[in-house]
Each structure stands twice: as structure tokens, then as C-alpha cells.
């Protein structure tokens, strides 16, 4: 992954009280994750293994654009596990580059919307 491949897009995530917050994975967010897990790939592997601590870490750094002081404890008390996993996955898809296959499929669908 190159730096120019990272896109900054917000993803809504609803708290247990019904408030909408937004995850945004900035370069700083990725740098913090990389510092904690030694690489983005290690962190993504931990998410794939459904490690709750990793989900909390991603939510925390994803919310820091709005609240730099948010803690892991606050995050763990704000969000449902299932909704959190979905939101983190969606936010990562927005922030990470598309694979070559995904780009080709997306372009194909744009050219021929009737096949959707």
C-alpha cells in the first residue's frame, strides 16, 4: 500500500445511545495502528480473527479526528460489538485502495449498469 492509495472518507457508526459518530481513518490513524501492531497487515489480520481489542483500537483511532482524548474504555462502553465490526470494515474499505479486480468490476458496472 502506498500513501497516495489511502483515501479519507467518513463512515457513520451509531452509539448504544443512538448518537451518530463518524470513523475516519487518516494517515495519523494508520500510523498509530502501525505503531501498535508493527504493520497495517498485522492489524488487519487481527481484525480478521475478530480480536475485540483490535476492533476497539481501530474505532478509537477512527474517532480521534473528532476527539483526540477518547480512550479505549470510552469506546468499549459506547458501541455494540456487531455494529462496530461492520462499521470498521466499511470504514477500512473506504480508506484503503481497491484491488485491481475490484476496480475492474466497478468500472464494468459503471459502463453497464443494467447488469446490476
Per-residue pLDDT tens over the stretch 61-100: 999 999 999 999 999 999 988 889 999 999 988 887 665 6
Distance from C-alpha of 103 to C-alpha of 50, rounded to nearest angstrom: 27
Answer yes or no: are the C-beta atoms of 88 and 56 closer than 8 Å.
no
Which contiguous run of DSSP H or E holds residue 21? strand 20-23
β-pair partners for 22: 12
* CB-based burial label for 25 (10 Å; 0-12, 13-18, 19+): buried
Compute how many other C-beta atoms are within 10 angstroms of the C-beta atom of residue 42: 13
Global pTM exceeds 0.85:
no
As for how many domains the chain has, the answer is: 1
> Residue 9 has what pLDDT?
84
Domain housing 73: 3-115
Amino acid at each position: 500500500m502506498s500513501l497516495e492509495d489511502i483515501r479519507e472518507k467518513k463512515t457513520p457508526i451509531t452509539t448504544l445511545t443512538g448518537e451518530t459518530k463518524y470513523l475516519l481513518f487518516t494517515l495519523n490513524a494508520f500510523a498509530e495502528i502501525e505503531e501498535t501492531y508493527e504493520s497495517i497487515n498485522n492489524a488487519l489480520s487481527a481484525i480478521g480473527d475478530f480480536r475485540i481489542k483490535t476492533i476497539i483500537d481501530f474505532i478509537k483511532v477512527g474517532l480521534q479526528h473528532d476527539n483526540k482524548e477518547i480512550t479505549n474504555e470510552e469506546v468499549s462502553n459506547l458501541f455494540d460489538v456487531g455494529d462496530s465490526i461492520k462499521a470498521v470494515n466499511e470504514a477500512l474499505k473506504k480508506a484503503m485502495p481497491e484491488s485491481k479486480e475490484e476496480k475492474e468490476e466497478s468500472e464494468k458496472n459503471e459502463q453497464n449498469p443494467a447488469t446490476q
